[in-house]
Every structure is written in C-alpha cells, then in structure tokens.
Structure 1
Amino acid sequence: MSADITEANRTVAKVLAKTFGGAPSVARHRDEAGSHVDILACRDAPQAGVTSYGTVTLANHPIILDGAEFPARAEILGLCASETEGFAGILAACAFHVIDSGWFLAPGIVFPGVVAASGASRTLAHVMFVPPTLWQTPIETMEFDGRPLGFLMAQPIAELEYAYAQEHGGDALEELFVARGIDPFDIHRPSVV
C-alpha cells in the first residue's frame, strides 16, 4: 500500500481481506480531478470464479448530506465474476462521486449511470447501495479515526430496476432480487422487472 495510507486504512484492509478470504491485492485508482482511492481485491472469494472488492481509503473523505458533513464514513464493497473487466473501476467511479461531487451514499441510494459509463455491462446501468450480506463473515460497522465506519455493497442494477426502486423503494427491489434468485456475480444478468 502507498505511503499515504493511514493505520486506520490498513485496519480496514485487514478486516476486508479476512472477511473476503483469498490473497488480497491493492490498486490505486485516480480520476481527472486528481483524487485517488485504493481498492482491495481478493480473487476466488467468496467462491471460485468470483472476485471481492472493497475501497480502503474512501473513509478518508467526508460524506456530505444537505451541504453538511455526515457524522459517519463509508467504504464501498462489491463482487463480480472474476473474468469481468472493469468492476474495480465501477467502485472507483462511485467513490469519486462521493469525493469530488459530494454525492451521499446510504442503503437504497442509487448512483445513476455509473455502470453504463464503465462499459462493463450489456444489461446493467446503475449502482444501488445495499447492506453487504454476500460474504460468510458479517461485515460490521467499525470505528475509523473516532467516527463510525459503515460498509455498503454496490449492487449493479438495470434501468427498469432503477425505475422500480424509485417507485417502490430500494428494499422492495432487494426483496424482488431474492424472490427471483438473481446471480449477484453476473454483471450481464437480465433485469428482474
């Protein structure tokens, strides 16, 4: 990890590596504004053919709600079939929207167009943030430099699913995912709506 990584960031990376399993690697992603975020990846975790990802430095930046700093910090998690290219870039794009543009993230919040802009999917266009429940070990809120640090999973969703979530709420869309048995690792899955 880079020299500007804090001990708190190292702790986050260790927690995620232990939760995900597998051998972790960390890569730095940069945007045109000069911001950067580090993303940990563990191949074949939580199962063969799937890679788990998590930002480990997003929590260095405040989350803004209604023009004021929110009292908690967040890291973004995700997982995808290992052969999918560009998934870490989707998480980085979400992080840059928080860092550079002050987008708020919480369960049920959708970041529109993030997947479409990456070109990583033929069928999914947006990201909805949900509690991280796809790993065997639960990922709990922890302390980060005296603040609560929460973890949110970036779930890619289709255009019609986004419309459904806007009308019925994010929880209703999550329930529909469970009822229809979506493959959460398939970034090319069909819409459930």
Structure 2
Amino acid sequence: MRQLVGGNTSVTAYYDEANANKIHIFSSSNSDGIVAATVGLMEINQSDKPGVEIYSEIIMDQRGHDERISNVLSTIAFCVMKDCWNVAPGVVFHDVVRMYVPGTELPHVMFTAPFQWNTMSKLSLSAKTIYPLVAIPISEAEAKVAGANAGQDLEAIWVKQSTDVLDWGRKSAA
C-alpha cells in the first residue's frame, strides 16, 4: 500500500472503548488528501457460506486532511471484528461517519471495489486472496438508493453526475 499511494505514511494502533480489541490503521497523507486502510482485518472470514472463505481489508480515501478518517475506519473494523458485520460491495454501514463528524451530510458508508487503483481488486497474500473494499461516505438519500441492486444504481448515478466521492464535503448525488 505504501508504494501504491506514497506520501507521509504511518501505522497506528486503535483500540475499542474497552481497550479489549485493537486494529492497526495505515495512513498516508500527501497534498491531495489522506488514504487510510485497515491492517489485519483480513484475518476474519467474511463469508456466511460453509467452506467459502472471503477476506477483505477496508480502505478510505479523502480529498482533504481530516484525521478523523482513521477513527471512522477503526470503528468500521470494530463493527466487523466484534459485531460480525459483513462487508461487501453495496453494503451500507449506517452512522459510522456521523459518530466522528456530527454535522456531516454524509453520515453512512457504502463499500465498493477500489476504483482508484486497478491492481487492487484482488490481492494474493500467503495462502489467502484478499478483496480490498473502499468505504465511501454517503448521504441518507444515497443510502436508500444503495439499498437496491447492491449499490450499483448509486454507482451509476455517481458516474452520470461525475460525483467526486472522495470529497467528504460534497452534496448528495441522490
């Protein structure tokens, strides 16, 4: 990831409220903004089907330099680790952005394939195949659209309107 995004990088441990669970967050900052990614979430099988293994890491990308991106990302990771929430393209986690950015118009996140980097759709590490996903902040109206058709309708709206989904201060596209 460091070679892919460059910039000033760091890895920081984040703990849940009880200090019982920990996730590492990779962060890279450059003049365009911040990229953050979970480190170690791939240890949790995301599949509900017996005999099928699906592993993922979560990435967030932001134009701007709001350090709360790592807090949002660690909360997403704890939802997966502790509460067994599954991530997949089109899945929405409600209110995880609002927890750290109270007045935001984009309080939820939807997961999508990493559109920024063509080589990141699937990675092989050791004996595992990892499917990275990008968590994109979305509005209430966008969450409703995302609820149908695994987020594909919302992604089509974004493409049609040339929506900059990396701008956390943007207006809703729906």
Q: Assess same fold via TM > 0.5.
A: yes
Partner secondary structure for residue 119 of structure 2? coil
Determine which of 105, 110, 117 is the counterpart of 1:123.
105
1:53-92 superposed matches below 5 A: 53-63=36-46, 65=48, 71-92=53-74
Deviation of residue 64 (structure 1)?
A: 5.0
Partner secondary structure for residue 114 of structure 1? coil
Q: How many residues align?
A: 173
Indicate conservation of the 8 Å contact 1:115/1:125, yes or no.
yes
What corresponds to 2:3 in structure 1?
Answer: 18
Partner secondary structure for residue 89 of structure 2? coil
Deviation of residue 143 (structure 1)?
A: 2.7
What corresponds to 1:191 in structure 2?
Answer: 172
1:79-158 superposed matches below 5 A: 79-119=61-101, 122-135=104-117, 138-158=119-139
Indicate conservation of the 8 Å contact 1:62/1:69, yes or no.
no
The C-alpha deviation readout for 1:11-33, integer Å capped at 9, x for no partner, is xxxxx111112232111111024
Query: 1:31 and 2:16 equivalent?
Result: yes
Q: TM-score, normalised by structure 2?
A: 0.89
Distance 1:86 1:161 in 2: 22
Deviation of residue 63 (structure 1)?
A: 2.4
Distance 2:146 2:156 in 1: 11
What corresponds to 1:11 in structure 2?
Answer: none
For residues 120 and 74 of structure 1, do their structure 2 counterparts lie closer, same or farther at Cα, with a shift above 3 Å needed? farther
Indicate conservation of the 8 Å contact 1:126/1:157, yes or no.
yes
What corresponds to 2:28 in structure 1?
Answer: 42
Runs of 4+ in 1 over 3 A off after TM superposition: none
Indicate conservation of the 8 Å contact 2:47/2:53, yes or no.
no
For residues 147 and 96 of structure 1, do their structure 2 counterparts lie closer, same or farther at Cα, with a shift above 3 Å needed? same
Unaligned runs of 5+ in 1: 1-15
Indicate conservation of the 8 Å contact 2:29/2:65, yes or no.
no
The C-alpha deviation readout for 1:91-127, integer Å capped at 9, x for no partner, is 1111111100000111111111111122265210111
Distance 1:182 1:167 in 2: 19
The C-alpha deviation readout for 1:143-167, integer Å capped at 9, x for no partner, is 3442211100001100000011124
Q: TM-score, normalised by structure 1?
A: 0.81
What corresponds to 1:181 in structure 2?
Answer: 162
Indicate conservation of the 8 Å contact 1:63/1:70, yes or no.
no
The C-alpha deviation readout for 1:16-61, integer Å capped at 9, x for no partner, is 11111223211111102411111111111xxx23111111111123
Q: Which moved more, 1:29-38 or 1:156-165?
A: 29-38
**Identity rate of aligned residues, in percent?**
28
